[in-house]
Structure 1
């Protein structure tokens, strides 16, 4: 392991419900602003959940020349293009990629855009609407399966976004897509890091993009009782670790980082934000929609990342939690943090960006890693907003409601846990 290469982050980009750039999003994070509101992309009045965290007033033409080329693409690809453009420009690579382009790759965690599978979405909307406020599971599933069986190949962008980014930015190296739901972009970053560590590429654009804010996505999550139904106050709905939490807020967006071999970055004088020092991954092997109740996978994942980074629990200065605002996740993640950090868990600030952003699904891990790195560099910790009633089973320091200054943080840990029992932990370190 000693001969593996070091991997650093030299560029960052994002599109979120509270900003169309890294700077705008992070400024609003520190202000504790929520991106939630009543859903505008479709008529959600008959759905159990009538709100979401949408990207607002987004215009791809502000980021990409001749944006009309992508007019038929899903919103996931459009968000991904904008975030990738920002990250590559930030890394000073847009006009200075003079080396062999086959050494520059793409590794994305991806999902659909809100425009994908239009027939499926329309059909499922009809199935959901027909039942009023009570979604009929059998009708919905029958409709979804029938329509998916008849959907034309190529309608979905989830498998092709990585290729579109490679084409747009001339990234001719390894090209992969990771489809592990809520853990996808974090897993993509971890796997891309491994590829650079062992010499398969010098630079990899990695992260994720996703939008499930459509009748198909909302109905599916409602059937799982995963979404909050706090319809009277959408901005108060995402309340991770609070005793009164009742589900997550569905969001959308993209987050991208430029991962680069350390010596390569130094030779070209690239800006270096942090080192991607630790990567842990486990599977719960339990249920498709619930975490292991004893935090078996979550705890081991964080412990593995610490080992990979060569760090001890007391080295971690901040944890950006997966923190979905569901009963099961928040209890399990708290238990997992205790397993991994031991007594140090009670001395380590933990917060959930999802309290403001909502859950960006496949894009969430990348966005939250960027927020963690900025928190470390700027000496300020993002809050967990809407934290009002402590839960006895969630008894850590969740940085409630207000941003906190904390200088001297050198290592941050970011968790992403996905349906299917996927667990990913990334550790970023100052360099």
Structure 2
């Protein structure tokens, strides 16, 4: 019999701030956190907007100076993870530290540190590269730092992936819970923005504005012309329903069905019919043992891209 898995904690670091309820209210009201970037030079491309996080707000959570000296993506990860555990009322005792797992995903990783190392390497040679900074550039570094700083000794898994990464780590976390390897799973993602990534996306033609329409994110709109980059981090704490009831904690919701797949098409394109998205939606519904008519809301990737939005619409429509 499949165990009931629930969400009991949420931690978020966003351009709207750290308070999850305030962030949710602003999103529901349709407020935008996009502003002209202050961190990155924009002279070379017409894209000016970004979702940026003021590093000062992280000091509300990261009280030791050492945490604030690590890469920005690791700071975001630490802050969101700490907030999530606090919200879930998890106390990291000696007994439970081995029963918590970290499941993390990121697309770009510590991209600013990678850029810095490569610049120094090619301009001044290997001796100019900080070996300590190099250790921060691997994709698992933010999750590993979270484990080290909080004393979490369960499995620590990092998956380098784009949008699909979240579904993959949720599925892995649920499997670890069902196998009895852990009692709690800290599941999340983080991204930071950088000069190189912005310019690369622009020249690939996927960053707004890619035409004469205004800059901005307008998914499924006929004037859509690319996405806008943002940085941030978010974690959820998931556990078995029976464990949560014993702890008498707030339950946000149940994860009743999960599925993942790959379209195996091209590196920079999705399969045009959307059939693999249809497949994974149907498998998730099957896993949840529900009927499609019971679904109240569908949240898409909403990339605001000419081709991808059409593929997503096809995939959802045919499910």
Q: TM-score, normalised by structure 1?
A: 0.67
Structure 2 residue 161 is matched with structure 1 residue 169:
no
Matches within 5 A, 1:17-416: 17-56=15-54, 58-66=56-64, 68-93=65-90, 95=91, 97=93, 99-110=95-106, 111-113=108-110, 115-119=112-116, 153-156=134-137, 158-211=139-192, 213-229=193-209, 237-340=216-319
Distance 1:333 1:233, change over 3 A: closer
Distance 1:50 1:121, change over 3 A: farther
Structure 2 residue 17 is matched with structure 1 residue 9:
no
Question: How many residue pairs get matched?
Answer: 313
Alignment deviations for residues 344-391 of structure 1 (CA, whole Å, 9 cap, x no partner): xxxxxxxxxxxxxxxxxxxxxxxxxxxxxxxxxxxxxxxxxxxxxxxx
Q: Is the 8 A contact 1:230 1:237 kept in 2?
A: no
Alignment deviations for residues 160-181 of structure 1 (CA, whole Å, 9 cap, x no partner): 1111111222221111001112
SS at the partner of 2:144? helix
Q: Distance in 2 between matches of 1:240 and 1:193?
A: 31
Q: Distance in 1 between matches of 2:118 and 2:69?
A: 16
Q: Is the 8 A contact 1:225 1:247 kept in 2?
A: yes
Q: Distance in 2 between matches of 1:52 and 1:96?
A: 36
Q: Is the 8 A contact 2:167 2:259 kept in 1?
A: no
Q: Which has the higher strand share?
A: 1
- Corresponding residue of 1:395: none
Moved over 4 A (4+): 120-123, 230-234
Q: CA deviation at 1:157?
A: 5.2
Distance 1:294 1:330, change over 3 A: same
Alignment deviations for residues 128-159 of structure 1 (CA, whole Å, 9 cap, x no partner): xxxxxxxxxxxxxxx8xx99xx8964241532
Q: Is the 8 A contact 2:111 2:137 kept in 1?
A: no
Q: Distance in 1 between matches of 2:231 and 2:92?
A: 31
Q: Distance in 2 between matches of 1:231 and 1:55?
A: 27
Q: Distance in 2 between matches of 1:121 and 1:241?
A: 38
Q: Is the 8 A contact 2:213 2:225 kept in 1?
A: no
Tell me, which stretches of 5 or more residues in structure 2 are unaligned? none
Q: Distance in 2 between matches of 1:239 and 1:21?
A: 26
Alignment deviations for residues 78-127 of structure 1 (CA, whole Å, 9 cap, x no partner): 1111111111111111x36463321111011124245322436758xxxx
Distance 1:57 1:64, change over 3 A: closer
Distance 1:271 1:96, change over 3 A: farther
Q: CA deviation at 1:298?
A: 0.9
Q: Is the 8 A contact 2:188 2:233 kept in 1?
A: yes
Q: Distance in 1 between matches of 2:168 and 2:275?
A: 18
